[in-house]
Amino acid sequence: MTEETARSIATRVETFVRERVAPFERDPRRDAHNCPTPEVIADLRALAREAGVMTPHLRADGSHLTHCETAEVLIASGLSPLGPLACNTAAPDEGNIFLLGKVGSDALKERFLTPLVKGEARSAFFMSEPWEDGGAGSDPSMMQTSCRPDGNHWVVNGRKCWITGASQAQIGIVMAKAEEGACMFLVDLPDPAIRIMDQPRTIDSSLPGGHCTVEIEDLRIPADQMLGDPGEGFKYAQVRLAPARLTHCMRWLGACIRCHEIASDYANRREAFGKRLIDHEGVGFMLADNLIDLQQARLMIDWTADALDRGERAGRESSMTKVAVSEALMRVADRCVQVMGGTGVSEATIVEQVFREIRAFRIYDGPSEVHRWSLAKGIKRAWERAQ
């Protein structure tokens, strides 16, 4: 696929998000956690199918665009917080689609991947665990959830937390630890053995189904629903990890581009102290700094995408990009709120929501401090090898 073709797809997605999705930002159908309801998602996905932009980062044969091409498309889908939900490029589905496409057997793809690609099902990734249990958070090696073979099934027990979308998902990817090491399973949801214990209200509201704490008690999973072999779970998690970090950056870059557009329009229209806000140096310079941060974020994304396209694991690059982009976009969103004053902290535009979403983004998929720690370990190893 040529770059021009990928850009053409992105242009269609951008037109769809701006013209058809953005009006839904004022749709009052929200759940108790202020997330769009399943009915809103169904309406948006029907429009996406009609416009031919459902799961637009996959080719007709089911293969993925390159990571650089995907950046074009996912940035466009992120121009509205609802865009990824409409176009089926949202987390965690997008990352789960990528993982299953790479490592799933034909049977698992037919059963679990196909409905995800069509936008007929949503999914959840069960990895993080409550810290009170000493479980896995940013350090997956601490995993406490266990699995053991029982005939032609595996039995899973444990607790998971911050499981995005769990209360509305139809498909789950569950990680658990066996004697051989970590394992990864595909399951149908809901399942009575997976009980939602808590669905807290959080600062973000773009991902329906909440960030749930669940208890897994004697969950029986057929052996042929394991991805790969026992002990290969961490290896498959790595397949998902760097690309999923990067696609988060792509989507939220799109959202912050739109916020900058809204704030710039406001600054050019609003007058105060005898001139338009844009002509006040303090305001104009904030918007200029936005342009710098947005461009640097895009360059970091393209740099890591290129490394992935060359077949590299790109763990170091994705860590650097996650830190740089999440923190740059936080500055952009914060400046947009500041430029718009009272309007910026209200629900009059999406700026207020994107500010909240970006603050959460600095934590999920690894907080900045964990990535910096990992990078520092790499610096130490490199120094020791050079001695």
CA atoms in the 13 A half-sphere facing the CB of 368 = 12
Superfamily of domain 234-386: Butyryl-CoA Dehydrogenase, subunit A, domain 3 (1.20.140.10)
Cα–Cα distance for residue pair 157/212, rounded to 1 Å: 16
Q: What pLDDT is recorded for position 4?
A: 56
CATH architecture classification, 123-231: Beta Barrel (2.40)
Domains 123-231 and 234-386 alike in fold: no
User: What angle (nearest 5°) sits at the alpha carbon of residue 215, between those of residues 237 and 148?
Assistant: 60
**Domain ranges (residues) in the chain:** 3-90, 123-231, 234-386
List the chain pLDDT tens, one digit each, 387 residues.
444 589 999 999 999 999 999 999 999 999 988 999 999 999 999 999 999 999 999 998 899 999 999 999 999 999 999 999 999 999 999 999 999 999 999 999 999 999 999 999 999 999 999 999 898 887 888 999 999 999 999 999 999 999 999 999 999 999 999 999 999 999 999 999 999 999 999 999 999 999 999 999 999 999 999 999 999 999 999 999 999 999 999 999 999 999 999 999 999 999 999 999 999 999 999 999 999 999 999 999 999 999 999 999 999 999 999 999 999 999 999 999 999 999 999 999 999 999 999 999 999 999 999 999 999 999 999 999 999
Residue-level pLDDT at 32? 87
